[in-house]
């Protein structure tokens, strides 16, 4: 039976799949990004989509719905001014203007609980439209 981690403040549960997929991304580098979705009926946070190591930030941005909220994590690889290869994991709280008020509230109140389960996030970006989470925003935060 699958385990889930309860987020006490909201009554939401994070599935094992969420944590396991995140650990695979963090340690094994088998995913470039993971998109998470809350199932309002079951009150579970589930993996909605996983991007393979060859996928890009644009692929992640294109996979987010224009009318519903999601969480996402993105493994950003970059080279520092000292020519060192680095990797930082970004947490993205996606809450587009066209999404329902109830969904926006649910995602806003559940975010910290999910972040606590996903250990190793370097930066957080909150976005209501694609310009607020452009690759330039990610690059600026990483440097």
- Per-residue pLDDT tens over the stretch 39-49: 988 889 999 99
| Mean pLDDT computed over every residue of the chain | 91
- Per-residue pLDDT tens over the stretch 19-39: 999 999 999 999 999 999 999
Question: What percent of the chain has a predicted confidence (pLDDT) above 90?
Answer: 80
First to last CA, the chain: 42
- Per-residue pLDDT tens over the stretch 81-102: 899 999 999 999 999 999 999 9
Alpha carbon 142 to chain centroid distance? 16
Higher-confidence position of 68 and 131: 68
pTM summary value? 0.91
pLDDT of residue 80: 86
**pLDDT band for position 8 (50/70/90)?**
very low
pLDDT at position 54 over 60: yes
Comparing CA positions, the residue from 74, 1, 4, 83 lying closest to residue 42 is: 4
Q: Round to whole Å and give the CA distance between 125 and 141.
A: 9
Average pLDDT of the segment spanning 95-120: 94
pLDDT of residue 5: 56
């Amino acid at each position: 039976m699958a385990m889930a981690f309860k987020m006490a403040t909201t009554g939401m549960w994070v599935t094992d799949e969420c944590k396991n997929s995140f650990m695979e991304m963090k340690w094994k580098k088998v995913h470039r990004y993971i998109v998470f979705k809350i199932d309002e009926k079951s009150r579970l946070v589930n993996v909605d989509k996983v991007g393979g190591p060859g996928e890009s930030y644009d692929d992640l941005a294109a996979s987010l719905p224009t009318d519903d909220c999601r969480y996402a994590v993105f493994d950003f690889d970059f080279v520092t001014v000292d020519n060192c290869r680095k990797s930082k994991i970004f947490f993205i709280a996606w809450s587009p203007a066209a999404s329902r008020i109830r969904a926006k509230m649910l995602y806003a109140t559940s975010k910290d609980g999910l972040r606590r389960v996903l250990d190793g996030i370097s930066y957080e970006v909150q976005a209501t439209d694609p310009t607020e989470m452009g690759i330039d925003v990610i690059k600026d935060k990483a440097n």
